[in-house]
Every structure is written in C-alpha cells, then in structure tokens.
Amino acid sequence: MSLSVPSAPGVKSARTRGASAIDFKSATTGVAAKAMRNELNKMVAEVKDPVQRRVFDLEMQSFFSLFNRYLVEKAKHEVIDWEKIQPLAPELVPSYSDLPETNDTSILEKLVVLKLNGGLGTTMGLSGSPKSAIEVRDGMTFLDLSVRQIEHLNEVNKTNVPFILMNSFNTDDETQRIIQKYANHNIQILTFNQSRYPRVGKESLLPVPRSATSDKSQWYPPGHGDIFDAIGNSGLLDKLLEAGKKYMFVSNVDNLGADVDLKILKHLVDSQCEFLAELTDKTKADVKGGTLINYEGTVRLLEIAQVPSEHVEDFKSIRKFKYFNTNSIYIDLEALKRVMDTEGMELDIIINNKIADDGTPVIQLETAMGAAIKHFRNAHGINVPRSRFLPVKACSDLLLITSDLYSLEHGKLVMNPQRMFAQTPVVKLGDTFKKIRDFNKRFRTVPNILELDHLTVSGDVWFGRNITLRGTVIIVANEGSRIDLPDGSILENKLVSGNVSIIDH
C-alpha cells in the first residue's frame, strides 16, 4: 500500500536546540502522520479477502490523505482571510426566473440523478432506520417520492434516467431491502456506498478502531464531500461515462423540492458549466447556511464553521450574503473524471468533535461536496425559488409538508395556489414534538395552516382534530401545565399560555 508521509522540506528534529514553534509543530505532524500510517497499514494487511482488501485500502488511502492535510493545516494554523471575501457578482448567480423555457428533452439521455442517502433518522427518533424510510406524505416515504418523480420523468419523456443512491454503512443493508419493492417499476436503481473512515482519538491522533471489523460505532461516514472519492473508487463513475452519461444531478434525499428541471439543465449545457450549485434567497431561518463567495477570484463555498468568530454576524447578514447553498448540485461527469485523474479533490476540512460511547473525545474529519466548486471550469450558482428547497430536518418541517400548504403531484410537493404568500410559515415546535412518535400522538390531525405566518409551540400541548391556525400563533404550556386544544378550534393571532387563556396579540 502506498500510504506515505509527504516530506516537509526544512523539518528539523524535535530535539534540535532552539527549534522554532513551527519546526516543532512540523516535526510533531510528521510523527503523528507516521503513527497513523502504520496503524492503517496494519488494518489493511489483516483483511484476508483480496476484493475487500482493495476497497478498504482505497478508503484508508483517501482517509490518510485527509488526515495528513488536517495535520499540516493545524500546524500552519491557516484561517480564511475575511478581507478577501466578496459576494459573487450577479452574473455568477443568474436567476431561475430569467432562464428561457424549453421543451428540449434530449439532455435527459445524458442525465443521472443521485440522492444522498447516508443519514439515519436519529434526530427524529428513528435510530436504526435510514431517514429516507420515514413516511412523510400520504403513506409515502422520502424514497417512494423520489422514485415516483423519476418514474414519472421517464414515462412522460420516454427516456431512462437512472436513479442512484449513495448509501452509508449505516443505511445500506436496510436500503437494499427496501428498494426490492421497486423491482417492477419503470426505473433503474443503482447504489454505491460512501467511504467508511475511522474515528480519531483527539489526544492520541490514532484511529479508534483496531481492525477493519471493529464495531461500527468506531467508524463514520465522512460527509457528502466524499461522493467524489466514493463514486470513483466504486467504479461507477467509469461505468456511467461508458454508458454515455455526462451530467449528474445530486441532492439530499430529504429535500422534497429537488426534482429534475429542464430549464436548469439547458442552462447547464448552454453555459458550458462543469459545476452548478442551486442557491436560494436567505431568510432569518437560514442565516447559518453555507454560501458561495468570491475568494481571490475563485468561486468558493463558505461554511459558518470556517468563519472567524468576530465575523460570524457579518456572515449571517442577509445584506452581504443574499443566498445560501441548498446542497443541490449539477456536475459534468467528464470534468469530474478529469479533476480526479489529474489534480484530485482538496476540499475544505470540517472538524466534527464527538464523544465516543466510552466517554473518549474523538474527532471526525469531514468534507462538503459544494466545496468542490473551486476545481471546475465556468462553475457558478443559480438562484432558484424556495419551492426547490423543501428539506425535512425536524418535525417542525414535517408539519409543513404534511399540511394543506401542499399537494402531491407525481411525487413532487406543489404549493397550494390559495396560499397568499410565497414564503412558507415559520414553525418552531418544542422538545415534546421532537420525535415522530410524539408528533403523531400530539396532533390528532395536522392543522390547517394555509393562512399561518408563524407558529411556536412549547411544553405539554395537544392538538385536537380539524384545528385552523392563522397569522401568528404562540402556544406555551408552562412547566406542570397541559394545554388541550379542542376539535375545530380556530386560532388567529393568539397567544395561548399555561392556564389556557387565549389572548389577542
């Protein structure tokens, strides 16, 4: 295996008298990299099956490259220079509304659609299941809705756009079982797994697992930026290119607004863009979302974790940064092959601090796929309407998408035309609604929220059937109190407090 520590010119022995702080850090970096390399080599050597060993070897090489970059950047203590950050010029964020209409479906022959399917439904109370298996509307799961969208696309346009799932080691077994039910559908489903990286002891800087078969809690999927290594290592990238596919549309499996759009695809082709990112207008609810910037003449992704603490409020400003990244992207597969074969991907490292089951502090080194934009030619963003960004991260989002705000058309959520405002309501449900099980118990039926602007619910609150919420509604059950809203209640611009008094505000 060719895991080697890149030599650092001018690195002196840690024992050299008078060595500077940077020399000491460089030497320490070299020692840590060598120790990590030795541990990874041992794990690879212990894998007996040659096919499994090759896959594991490629993963560990990718991980080692990331780890070594982490050590070098840590030693240099490089941070982003805020003064060099500029918003993108308007021509680099054309508006979706300005794109010409098109009926040209020929590009669909060259298209594949990929959904990121690596996450579990843990935050919503489904610890062992893929998030894509959560029922979200009319008894259909995220996966059902995605399959229905692609099936409809293929039927209407008499084409065969393949549907790809990037799973993780957490979701693959259950996903393979679930997708069997689509065997007789008009859709070709392909899957591959993102990498499995070892957690790293924060103090030791050594891998937590001791062998390739160590418990899965000692490993992690390294963020969606891993898509490029994973699709290359799996051999799928080459197979897609051999099949004549040129463009890949990637989005989160829980974004119910991210469907195939011919106007965007035509813009992708006409502008000879190798990497296109969907952005949408930032609201106060999105101030922490990543955004595209101009950094020394290059289009870059900027995440809040990269922002110096003294500039966080600037980053959140809607005036300076109007858009945020929806994590829906389009990639030219031929360009991806070129980048991977020549320069490779150097994506900004996201350090995720965690506590292991035994209480040991560990780190996970992750990357975001939007950061790859700097590697591609003619790369830019496109400002899309909010209807293309309908994520379900919590039960507050679930309330919106299961309500009368939307109807379902061929697997796509469509805003009710009777809604007077383009913006969706702001919904904040407290901890008692955090898990799907509790959400379903506390809402006898989902309220009518067509005219709702803002809803905040906190404490032990229970909703009856056929409740209507309008304007701004705040319901707070104080500790020890319980609020039951009777069937058929209509609350418009009301504050409901712990003693069930209803007050206009």
Question: Which distant-in-sequence residues (6+ apart) come within 8 Å of 487 by Cβ?
Answer: 444, 464, 465, 466, 467
Contact 327, 370 (CB under 8 A): yes
How is residue 460 written in tokens? 């032990």
- Is there a contact between 464 and 486 (Cβ–Cβ < 8 Å)? yes
Q: What is the DSSP letter of 33?
A: H
Side-chain half-sphere exposure of 443, counting CA atoms within 13 A: 23
3-state SS assignment for residue 221: coil
Residue 393 a catalytic site member: yes
CA 438 to chain centre: 25
Asked if 381 contacts 89 with a C-beta cutoff of 8 angstroms, the reply is: no
Q: How many CB atoms within 10 Å of residue 202?
A: 15
Catalytic residue among 393, 428, 434, 435: 393
Neighbours of 504 (CB within 10 A): 7
Distances (CA, A) of 453 to 121, 127, 404, 450, 474: 28, 32, 14, 9, 11
CA distance 244 to 340: 19
Instruction: Identify the H or E element spanning 120.
Output: strand 120-121
Q: How far is 432 from 365, CA to CA, in rounded Å?
A: 33
Catalytic residues: 393
